[in-house]
Amino acid sequence: MSRMKGSHHQPDTASRQSQGATVTEEQGRMAAAAGRSWAEQKAERLEGEIPAVDWPDFWQPEWSGKLPFDSSRLDSHGLAALQALANHAAVEQWQELVFARRADEDAEDEEIEMEVDAARLFESVRNSLPDGLRAVRDGERVYLVDYRGTERTITSLPQAVRVIDEWREGRSL
């Protein structure tokens, strides 16, 4: 997964021909693109069904599709080389997609958790404030505002108590 997108290794034509295959560079590019497309299509199908955390970690060979060109003129070695190239591209693309989707879901879950924590803090503080202070919640941010419009972000109930006590003692927010 450390490779950059588009940096897929493809053997050159000479090495494929030395294996008895007559495969063109264009066919190699098409096979690699097909493999990446198979992985993207599988990810799109799974995306609506199950969270990415439950997706298989590795590409399954049976998910591979057909090559996107007429392969009837290729000998068995050429066809096998192109299929291997496509499968390799699918494996790499799948790993990138799984990693990216799981990271996105983790970020979404963390954001939701932070908003829930902020809502709890806001509810705990808002009804017990002295005159002249009010609590405001903006997404995952909770802050106190005094009568002058001065704001101070709070992140926990103990911190809120300290800030309120300081404000009562005449110190500003």
User: pLDDT at position 117, please?
Assistant: 94
Tell me, what's the pLDDT at 163? 93
Same domain, residue pair 84 and 152 = no
Question: What is residue 23's predicted lDDT score, i.e. its pLDDT?
Answer: 83
**pTM of the prediction?**
0.58
Structure confidence at residue 55 (pLDDT): 93
In angstroms, the first-to-last Cα distance of the chain is 48
pLDDT value at position 73? Answer: 80
Give the model's pLDDT for residue 5.
42
Q: Which domain holds residue 36?
A: 13-110
Mean pLDDT in each 10-residue stretch from start to end of the chain (173 residues)? 43 43 84 95 92 92 89 85 94 95 91 93 92 93 93 94 91 69
Q: Is residue 8 one of the residues assigned to a domain? A: no
The amino acid occupying position 29 is R
Number of domains in the chain: 2
Q: Verify that 93 and 135 share a domain, yes or no.
A: no
